[in-house]
A and B are shown apart, each in its own frame.
Chain A
Amino acid sequence: MSATNYLLLVCLVMTVATFITRLIPFVAFREKGDHPLLLYLGRYMPPAIMTLLVLYSLKSLDLTQAPYGVNELLALLLTTPLHLWRGNALLSIFSGTLFYMAAIQLGWFV
């Protein structure tokens, strides 16, 4: 098999496998979207998943080594109160991100 054919087959297999993981619930629970338990999960899963995604996005942090996650902590300590105060998502996100980029690129807390 040529290298390009192999790549295209890998691409196809990955596309199908990924799509299936996303499709399964929509097929499995077709016509059951208004079941009380599913409505309940529709209400309570998003806050739980948002919390988990925050943790997941920080999973490669090593708190036992310098700079002990201080860049991430300070950037979130900027984003969170700013968002609770002004409620402007773009302002909160960009302030935190710019601070973080400056902190790691200029090595403020190395």
Chain B
Amino acid sequence: MSTLAAAFRASVPVLFGYVPLGMAFGILFQDLGYAWYYAPLMGLTVYAGAAQFMAVGLLAAQASLVEVAISTFILNSRHMFFGVSLLGRYRARGLKKLYLIFGLTDETYSLITSTHPPDGHDEQNYYLALTALNQGYWVAGCALGALFGAGVEFDTRGMDFALTALFMVLMLEQWKKLREPYPFAIALLCGLAALWLFREQMLLVSIGLSIALLLLRTRTRQVAS
């Protein structure tokens, strides 16, 4: 199996999640009255699901560019935490590395940290293929939604549950690999607390809190030994 085929196989669930979500964005975007091709253009350049949905509201309200910059930065600031755990993994250089960083969505991060290329295949090429395939699905979804809008016959309601199921399966894969309850337990606690208290910024708060508790654990371990 080629590296690309392996990456495709691993990323099929993202295909089923990104196409209906991208379409939902395209349909909303189309209501703003711009030409359809600006929807896939945003998928190609901005490439951030939640931020693009927010953009529809900002564009409709004619928000200032400063407001756009700040709200995008805050909404996506959780991505800062992703890179921290990828420093050792991304060994590609130059443009390849920049593209890997540019394309680092929640789903791409999940596949890169939880799946492996087949034996003998280059990891960096596998990561690149995953990143590019995922972005391809997203751009295709944005285009389909903006082009055909609500005229699509096939009922995609519930299809994006593929992403929830994907995260669940990848969490189980992490469990099989690690077999230590600590990171799962603190994430569950931090996640539930953040859902309850900070629903809008749930991921940012809960990832930050989880990292703090993970680091605290190394400290107490060092002191104990």
Q: Interface code A15-45, partner B: CB below 8 Å = 1, 0 otherwise? A: 1111111111110010011100111111111
Contact of B42 among A11, A24, A40, A90 (CB under 8 A): A11
Across the interface, do B169 and A17 meet the contact criterion of CB distance under 8 Å? no
CB neighbours (8 Å) of B88 from chain A are 33-34, 38-39, 42
CB neighbours (8 Å) of A53 from chain B are 106, 110, 167, 171, 203
The size bracket of the interface on A is: 35 or more
- Taking the closest CB of chain A, its distance from the CB of B47, in whole angstroms, is 7
CB neighbours (8 Å) of B164 from chain A are 54, 57-58, 72, 75-76
Stretch at the interface among B120-128, B132-140, B173-181: B173-181
CB-CB contacts below 8 Å: B187-211 with A: 187-188, 190-192, 195, 199, 202-203, 206-207, 210-211
- Taking the closest CB of chain B, its distance from the CB of A1, in whole angstroms, is 10
Across the interface, do A52 and B163 meet the contact criterion of CB distance under 8 Å? no
Q: B interface, by DSSP: helix, strand, loop or mixed?
A: helix
CB neighbours (8 Å) of A103 from chain B are 158
- Residues A22 and B101 in contact in the complex (CB < 8 Å), given A55-B191, A96-B161: yes
Is B168 located at the chain interface by the 8 A CB criterion? yes
Q: Complex Cα distance A10/B45, Å?
A: 11
Count of interface residues, chain B, beta-carbon cutoff 8 Å: 90
- Taking the closest CB of chain B, its distance from the CB of A92, in whole angstroms, is 5
- Chain A minimum-CB-distance residue to B87: A33
Across the interface, do A50 and B170 meet the contact criterion of CB distance under 8 Å? yes
Is B4 located at the chain interface by the 8 A CB criterion? no
Contact of B169 among A11, A75, A93 (CB under 8 A): A93
Q: Complex Cα distance A98/B55, Å?
A: 31
CB neighbours (8 Å) of B214 from chain A are 40-41, 44-45, 48
CB neighbours (8 Å) of B38 from chain A are 7, 11
CB neighbours (8 Å) of B73 from chain A are 17, 20-21
Is B152 located at the chain interface by the 8 A CB criterion? no
Is B6 located at the chain interface by the 8 A CB criterion? no
Between-chain CB contacts (< 8 Å), 16 pairs: A14-B45, A14-B68, A14-B72, A17-B69, A18-B72, A21-B80, A41-B214, A45-B214, A47-B178, A55-B206, A57-B167, A59-B199, A75-B164, A80-B168, A89-B173, A104-B158
